[in-house]
Structure 1
C-alpha cells in the first residue's frame, strides 16, 4: 500500500487498547517527515498513555489510499484531502506556521524572467508540487490562473515530487513559473536548497485556514477532545515549544469543519465536476 512505519513511541499502555496510527501526508520526503514529527508522536503517546505509530507514505497516491481506507486514527494532510474525507474524518486542529494560522496559494517566477503579470504565463511551463490533489501547490495556484482568464489548456502543466521541489525546479529554470503556498519560500528545506532571493511572488490568493489535523469520525469524543487539547496546548510549555520548533511550526489552532468552507468554494471553481462530501 506504499505506507511505511516511520517510528513509534511505546508507553506503558493498557494491553487491551490497539495502537493509534498517526498518518502524515508527504509534504516533505519521508525521512525528514519522521524527524520533524517523531517528537510530537512520542509526546502524544506518553500523554495519552498508549502506543502511537507514526506512518508516512512514499507519495500522495499511497497516502490517499490510507485515508480512503481509514488506516489513520489521527491524520495530518492538506485542505483538499480533508474536504474530500469529511465523511470519514473530523477536523480538530490546524497548523500555525511563522506565527499565522492562515496561508495563501501563490504563483512564483524568477526575478530575471521578465514576467510581471499572470496573463503572461499563457503558453508557458508551470511546475506544481505533488499532484492535482495538492491544495496549496496546485488547486489554489490554478484558481489564480483561472481568475486571470487562463485555463489548463492555456499553459503546460508539469509536476514535481513535492511542493519544495516545485520552487527548486523554478530556481534551476526548469519551468517558467511555480505554483505553491505563499510561505513555501520561507521553509528551511527550500532556503537550504536555493537562493530564494532569485524568485518572487507573481500573485497570491485570499488567505485561507492552514493545514488541518483530523481524527476518525468513530473515535470516542473524549479521546478526540484530549488530542485536540494536547495539540492546541503545546505552545504553553517549554517541552511543547521545542516539539513545535522541531516540526517547523509555531503552534496549533483549534479547527472546525466550517473553517474549510472557503476551500470548498475554491475547489468547486477549479474542479466543478468533483463531488465533495460534507
Structure 2
C-alpha cells in the first residue's frame, strides 16, 4: 500500500476524531467491510479499534506503526487504526459491531463475545497486567485507611487493570469503595495520573503501561509521584475479530502479531507498546476473567449498569 493511501486513511480517522471532539457525530459507520480500489483489485479496509490505553494522539503514535506493519506484511488487505474518546465510546463500537478488529481490555473482551467477536490473540506479559495506585510523594499517604473520606481517580468504570483490580484491592484492605471514598472516573489513563499530580485527588489508579509511558513523556511530573500499592495480576488485553471476517484474514493477523517478537523490527514495535510479545489465544483463555468479574460484583459493586448498550 502506498504511503499516500495510508495517510489518506489516517487523515479520515483523525478528521472523524476532530468532529467528535467538537461535539459533532460523524455519519453512522457501516459495520460491513469497506472496499478500496487499487487499479482493478478491490481490497477490504479493516478498522482496528484499540481501547483508550492512551489519549488519541499518543495512541496513534504508539499503535500507528503496528498498523503500517500489518499493511506491509498483508498487502492483500488494508488496515486502518481508530481511536476512541473514552471507554464508553469504544464499548459502543463493539456493541454495534462497527469495527472488524479490536484490542479490548479483558472485561470488554467478555462484552464483545456477546456481540459476535472472538479472541484470536492477546498481549503477552500477563504479570504486567495489574493495577497500581499512585500518590504524591509529598502527600504522606502510606496506609489504605488514609484514603477514607477522600477522592480517588480512575480512567473509567469498566477499566479492568486500572479500576476493577484497584477497587478489589481496596476492598480487600477494608475500604468500602461505595461509601468510604469518592470515586472519580476521569476518562483516560493520563487524566487519572494528572489528577493526583495536580492534587485534585488523594490517589490515582492506572496500570504499568500508561505509567511507564507517562514517566517517559512527563519525567518531571512523574518524579512527584510514587506507586504506593500494586494489585495481583490478571490476564492481559485480547485481540478480537468480528465473526463475519474471513477466517483466513483473521489467521494472517494473528500470525503476524504472534511473530512480531522474532524480528528486530517487530521487537521495536513491541517496545513502543511497553510489551515483549503477542500470543495466540482463544475465548476460553478469558474464563478466568468471568470468575474475577463474578467475585467483583458480589463483593465490590455491580457492573451491569456500566455495560455499553
TM norm structure 2 = 0.77
1:75 to 99, 102, 114: 102
- Provide the residue aligned with 2:23 in structure 1: none
CA 1:35–1:198: 2 relative to 1, 3 Å: closer
Q: Secondary structure at the match of 1:42?
A: helix
Structure 1 residue 128, shift from structure 2 partner: 0.9
Q: Deviations over 1:150-185 (max 9, x none)?
A: 222210111223112212221222111111114543
Equivalences for residues 1-278 of structure 1 within 5 A: 5-6=13-14, 15-48=41-74, 49-87=76-114, 88-96=116-124, 100-102=125-127, 103-129=129-155, 131-151=156-176, 152-187=178-213, 189-193=214-218, 194-272=220-298, 273-274=302-303
Higher helix share: 2
Residues 168 and 190 in structure 1, CA contact (< 8 A), matched pair in contact too = no
Within 2, Cα distance between the matches of 1:56 and 1:101?
Answer: 23
Structure 1 residue 134, shift from structure 2 partner: 1.1
Within 2, Cα distance between the matches of 1:33 and 1:184?
Answer: 11
CA 1:191–1:51: 2 relative to 1, 3 Å: closer
Q: Secondary structure at the match of 2:139?
A: coil
Higher strand share: 1
Q: Deviations over 1:57-84 (max 9, x none)?
A: 2222221111111111110121121111
Q: Secondary structure at the match of 1:23?
A: strand
Within 2, Cα distance between the matches of 1:211 and 1:228?
Answer: 14
Residue segments in structure 1 that go unaligned for 5+ positions in a row: none
Q: Secondary structure at the match of 1:36?
A: helix
Within 1, Cα distance between the matches of 2:192 and 2:55?
Answer: 13
Residues 111 and 199 in structure 1, CA contact (< 8 A), matched pair in contact too = yes
Residues 143 and 266 in structure 1, CA contact (< 8 A), matched pair in contact too = no
CA RMSD of aligned residues (A): 2.5
Count of paired positions: 266
Within 2, Cα distance between the matches of 1:183 and 1:230?
Answer: 22
CA 1:202–1:243: 2 relative to 1, 3 Å: closer
Within 2, Cα distance between the matches of 1:261 and 1:197?
Answer: 38
Within 2, Cα distance between the matches of 1:43 and 1:235?
Answer: 13
Residue segments in structure 2 that go unaligned for 5+ positions in a row: 1-11, 16-35
Within 1, Cα distance between the matches of 2:245 and 2:276?
Answer: 27
TM norm structure 1 = 0.85
Within 1, Cα distance between the matches of 2:46 and 2:217?
Answer: 34
